[in-house]
């Protein structure tokens, strides 16, 4: 069995934590649960975190089979995924949100009593960006140990998200709206950089494959 790769774990953890952005999610959680009791908020935070973890794990493990079924190269997926993640980062920078929803969908979410699954778990915590990041990370894995490392990172990030969501009222008390917006913008910038790095990695791998074909005289 391969040895535990600390550098790969830090990459997986930091990428997932940044794109899931629990503090940004907590800001939305505060906004859409003004009339819920503390007990209800705790239950929703727990349900959302568990659901998000399961969605990301299942999607991450099944993603490579989907790629193989449609005969998609991992390099192409990394470039496309990088564009998607970068787009999420740009949207976070401009609007403070990391998901694509209409105004009517947002109003409908607020009208619902239980927001743990939609919009909290999906798409706030396990949206397209997080799913793509998970697939790319598992695609970079060199063995079962690395795959287990990504799964552990998902569980750890979602557990931390639960802790933050369950203490959202404290965040609201000590971080005003401007402070939360600054954090959200910073997270958006980091997500954008992660997306660009995915694109660069995909292009570099394509160049390695194409380089022999482009050499003259071959």
Q: How many CB atoms lie within 10 A of CB 215?
A: 8
Which residues, including other chains, have CB under 8 Å from residue 107's CB and lie 6 or more apart? none
Q: How many CB atoms lie within 10 A of CB 190?
A: 18
pTM value > 0.95: no
The fraction of the chain above a pLDDT of 90, given in percent, is: 29
Q: Where are the domains positioned within the chain?
A: 18-214
User: Which among 154, 166, 157, 149 is positioned nearest to 30, based on CA atoms?
Assistant: 166
pLDDT band at 122 (very low <50, low <70, confident <90, very high): confident
Whether the upstream peptide bond of residue 125 has omega within 30° of 0, thus cis, is: no
Count the alpha carbons within 13 Å of 125 in the hemisphere toward its beta carbon.
Answer: 36
pLDDT digits (tens, 9 = 90+) for 13-29: 999 999 898 987 887 78
Sign of CA dihedral 82, 83, 87, 93: positive
Write down the mean pLDDT value for the chain.
82
Whether the upstream peptide bond of residue 123 has omega within 30° of 0, thus cis, is: yes
Tokens of 167: 């203490």
Q: How far apart are CA 130 and CA 149, in angstroms?
A: 16
Sign of CA dihedral 141, 147, 152, 158: positive
């Amino acid at each position: 069995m391969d040895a535990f790769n600390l550098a790969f774990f830090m990459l997986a953890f930091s990428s997932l934590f940044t794109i899931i952005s629990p503090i940004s999610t907590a800001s939305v959680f505060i906004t859409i649960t003004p009339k819920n009791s503390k007990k209800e908020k705790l239950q929703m935070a727990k349900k959302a975190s568990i659901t998000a973890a399961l969605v990301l794990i299942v999607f991450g493990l099944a993603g490579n089979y989907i790629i193989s079924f449609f005969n998609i190269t991992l390099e192409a997926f990394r470039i496309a995924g990088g564009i998607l993640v970068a787009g999420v980062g740009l949207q976070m920078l401009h609007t403070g949100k990391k998901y694509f929803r209409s105004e009517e969908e947002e109003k409908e979410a607020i009208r619902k009593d239980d927001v743990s699954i939609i919009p909290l778990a999906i798409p706030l915590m396990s949206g397209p960006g997080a799913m793509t990041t998970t697939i790319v990370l598992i695609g970079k894995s060199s063995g079962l140990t690395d795959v287990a490392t990504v799964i552990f990172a998902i569980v750890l990030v979602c557990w931390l998200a639960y802790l933050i969501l369950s203490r959202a009222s404290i965040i609201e008390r000590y971080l005003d709206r401007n402070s939360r917006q600054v954090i959200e913008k910073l997270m958006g910038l980091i997500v954008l950089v992660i997306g660009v790095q995915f694109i660069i990695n995909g292009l570099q791998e394509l160049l390695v494959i194409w380089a022999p074909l482009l050499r003259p005289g071959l």
